[in-house]
Structure 1
């Protein structure tokens, strides 16, 4: 089973994925946590690097091939990354976060002003959720507002979703409150 943990940069995907892995490894033997950004960079699974945005243009056929070669159908795979919903997952967890918090987190990471603006706007406009819905008709999608939740709470919500298979999305909207952040 492939579980995509997706969302705008800064929502907490990597922290949640690592903690979810630790919880699931106690229940299952074949759990893998794959950080998409790390494997793309390390294994040169990209077409080019966008220096202005300090990011990679991913070569999805190469990335999918890499995943096929390095996982088995018996594995429970956590795909951590803001494009993980584009990798044929069985279920998608879309993490959401108040755009002001994303702004603060990305500022602390010294992201460029342009990159911060692009990612805040992506969160306000539900980009990862919309892409998840458009590209994964077969997948189960679950959206979580992480703004007031601890990592432990988020992991428990995900595990409950995995146990009960109850898709839920469309319950988070920042547009009305944060439209002024769009240009």
Structure 2
């Protein structure tokens, strides 16, 4: 079983994935780290300081791990594109994402692009199959993990619970001005 933990950078995917994986002894694949470490990309986008993923190579890498593991967690903002059996879409207040990404040293353009992606529900809109959306804003990681366990156990599906568009509309028009 492939469980995707997806969402905009800064929503808490890696923290949640690690706690969930450790709690149940599930193998967690950090997509960003795997792509870098195993050269699963076609090129590096210097302007955005990111890698262009070779999805065929990444899929083969994941399949090798699946031969040994019954359940895996795919941690990354593109994990929902990797044919998961169940997708958890983490969401977070754009202001918090902005603070987190700035602390990580993201360039202003990349911060803005990710805030806009969060406001527009990009990861949620791209997800297919069984989807469960969670707003992580102001929540404890153990509480979020408990909700994920409950959702998976009961095959719950939920989406459309977060709408940042009205409150953060100005972020969507920043590049136009």
TM-score, L = length of structure 2: 0.95
Q: Deviations over 1:154-177 (max 9, x none)?
A: 000000001100101111110011
CA distance in 2, matches of 1:9, 1:68: 25
Match of 1:156 in 2: 146
CA distance in 1, matches of 2:148, 2:24: 11
- Maintained 8 Å contact 1:48/1:57: yes
SS at match of 2:167: helix
Query: Does 2:48 correspond to 1:53?
Result: yes
Aligned residue pairs, count = 173
CA distance in 1, matches of 2:104, 2:61: 29
Query: Does 2:98 correspond to 1:108?
Result: no
SS at match of 2:44: strand
The residue correspondences of 1:53-92 to structure 2 (distance < 5 A) are: 53-72=48-67, 75-92=70-87
- Maintained 8 Å contact 1:143/1:168: yes
Match of 1:3 in 2: 3
Shift in CA distance, 74/34, structure 1 to aligned 2, threshold 3 Å: closer
- Maintained 8 Å contact 2:27/2:69: no
The residue correspondences of 1:108-147 to structure 2 (distance < 5 A) are: 108-132=103-127, 136=128, 139-147=129-137
Structure 1: which 5+ runs fail to align?
A: 26-30
Q: CA RMSD in A?
A: 1.0
CA distance in 1, matches of 2:75, 2:99: 21
Structure 2: which 5+ runs fail to align?
A: none
Q: Deviations over 1:44-67 (max 9, x none)?
A: 000100111110000001100111
CA distance in 2, matches of 1:95, 1:18: 14
TM-score, L = length of structure 1: 0.92
Q: Which one is further off, 170-179 or 68-77?
A: 68-77
- Maintained 8 Å contact 1:32/1:75: no
